[in-house]
Chain A
Amino acid sequence: MVSEPRKIRIEIDKKSCKRCGICQGLCPQAVYSLAKDGSPEITNPERCTNCRLCDLRCPDFAITLEVLA
């Protein structure tokens, strides 16, 4: 039996983000990439497994993950 991959909505609050790069640098699934200015961009959202490590490790409370039904 193969389960449907869950859809995860990732939201980055750009006002809070200080561009430390931790979300991109440590994501086990390479969901993120960095823009020229160091801002994270969500380039592979379909790969997200909702491990929540980016959320928990974001020092600036800038990431919100939401599991879509």
Chain B
Amino acid sequence: MNRPVGVQFMQGNEACVYAALDAGAKFYGGYPITPSSEIAELSAKFLPQVDGVYLQMEDEIGSIAAIIGASAAGQKSYTATSGPGFSLMQENLGMAVYAEVPLVLINVMRNGPSTGLATRPAQGDVMQARWGTHGDHPIIALSPGSVQECYDLTVRAFNLSEKYRIPVILLGDEVIGHMRESLTIPEADKLEIINRKLPTVPAQGYKPYQTDEDDIPAIPPYGTDYIVHISSSCHDESGYSHSAPQTADKLVQRLHRKIDKNKKDIIQVEWFGPEQADLTIIAYGAISRVAKQAVINAQDKGLSVNLLRLITLWPFADEEVKAALEKAKAILVPELNLGQIVHEVERLNTFGPPVHSLSRIDGEILIPAQIMEKIEEVLK
């Protein structure tokens, strides 16, 4: 394939595919679903050209299972879906976290619950991304706010997944997925690509889940001299089942530790507008673009408003949100749901400013005027 370079004009979903290929992805397993299907279609077209495979599975349960298998066999793997499919993927998403198999899951969020409005945007899967699978577990979720970020964050999703051996969710939405705008695709040699680390110990006596201080296991693909035992059941360092209470505790604590201690590397936010403002908007995804316009309109009206844009949704940007809560007189969290991230903000609010929610769940996007109206109401 001819790799596009420089300024390009395309859809967010298209940008995700070019980014996946640039990150070195060789395997896609998926089930078509609106509004993510362009990712499947372009992957089907391009993957064979880079020696890869597009595999259309029988359902989303099989889709995520296939990419977990392909990743364990050494290929960087990804899938794309939307709400209903994301729900079906939850059990095996947990398996990938537990067994530490890298993968990238692109969820182009649509209106729900259930089949809902298939072609309409929403941000209703934020908590499902965090807590959809059972049991205590860490997760990484990134939220693109532009076509450029669909590209950049897809590359970053693969890098974080490989580095920390954890599934990474690219939590986009129908607006960003289907929007066309310009982006700049860097030269291939300018991209930072991270590959999973390999063991440096001898194959004899190798234990796949034995870790150094970094708490990240070094696991080679199947087929080398190293015997790799991957398990969805509670396992010790050998990968074999082990059900002792201390084994269960040790494993899940380490899974959290490897993410918790690297939050600085994982968490990205963007501040927009004046450094100090009476009201801080906290937003993400498509709505963060609307919020930016609202900040500009507010400034024109002489109102003191800025924006904290969450690029990494999970793990949550506790420190950055605390800084916002400390400085602002009021907080506004606009979302295309009945309030999900707003509760995370409230969780951290020991500082006192009132935290306001602005919701829309009718399948339409919030517009700057609606946010403006809320700003004026709050600052009155």
Q: Do chains A and B touch in the complex (CB under 8 A)?
A: no
